[in-house]
Amino acid sequence: MLVLLGFILIFHIATAALLFIATIDNAWWINDISSTDIWQTCYNNGSTCSNEIIIGYGECIKAIQATMCLSVIFCCISFVVFVVQLFRLQKGQRFYIAGTLQLLSSLCVMIAASIYTDREQSFHKNYHKGQYGYAFILAWIAFAFTFISGVMYIVLRKRK
């Protein structure tokens, strides 16, 4: 049981790290001259950064920013709740609160990445051709990880 608990804690910390990287790092869309994230666009390998292009995205980018921030918050709260439940929960009960928060985090990441995927053509239509960056891919991987850990928490029972 101790090995399983260690795996769950490491998995949750790795998931939180993926969410932080996907939210903060400047690589949701990359091309030859710039890289763009949900906060700003940097030109020539980060030497000059501007948020003018991001402001032009309209309300969609605000929804993406908000849901990614919510996903990070839900994931961190879920970790704290899991640790608290680990010591306070009676034997045989499930980690419903931590699982629900983790599933909410998963939902928020899915919403943000889906909006970005849907609106990508309108976001980048006036700029050079490019491709999705690794932070965007990490957001989708974080979605899968948060979903798996949320289900894992709900299925998991406290044992001695």
Structural domains in the chain, CATH included, are 2-19+58-155 (1.20.140.150)
pLDDT exceeds 70 at position 123: no
Greater confidence (125 vs 82) lies with: 82
**What value does the mean pLDDT of the chain take?**
85
- Give pLDDT, residue 138: 93
Greater confidence (102 vs 90) lies with: 102
116, 136 Cβ separation under 8 angstroms: yes
Q: What are phi and psi of 51, to 5 degrees?
A: -110, 15
Confidence of residue 27 (pLDDT cuts 50, 70, 90): confident
- Could you tell me if residue 94 is left (phi over 0), alpha (psi between -120 and 50 degrees) or otherwise beta? beta
Report the candidate in 1, 3, 76, 60 with the shortest Cα–Cα distance to residue 28: 60
Q: What is the pTM of this model?
A: 0.87
Query: In sequence order, which residues have a C-beta less than 8 Å from that of residue 15 and are 6 or more positions away?
Result: 75, 142, 145, 146, 149
- Give pLDDT, residue 11: 93
Greater confidence (11 vs 26) lies with: 11
Greater confidence (133 vs 13) lies with: 13
Query: What is the pLDDT averaged over residues 140-148?
Result: 95
- Give pLDDT, residue 90: 82
Separation of alpha carbons 83 and 79, rounded Å = 6
Separation of alpha carbons 58 and 47, rounded Å = 25
Query: What is the pLDDT averaged over residues 37-66?
Result: 76
Query: In sequence order, which residues have a C-beta less than 8 Å from that of residue 65 and are 6 or more positions away?
Result: 38, 39
Torsion of CA 34, 125, 54, 46, to 10 degrees: 0
pLDDT exceeds 90 at position 146: yes
pLDDT exceeds 70 at position 54: no
- Give pLDDT, residue 26: 79
Greater confidence (83 vs 130) lies with: 83
Separation of alpha carbons 58 and 92, rounded Å = 49
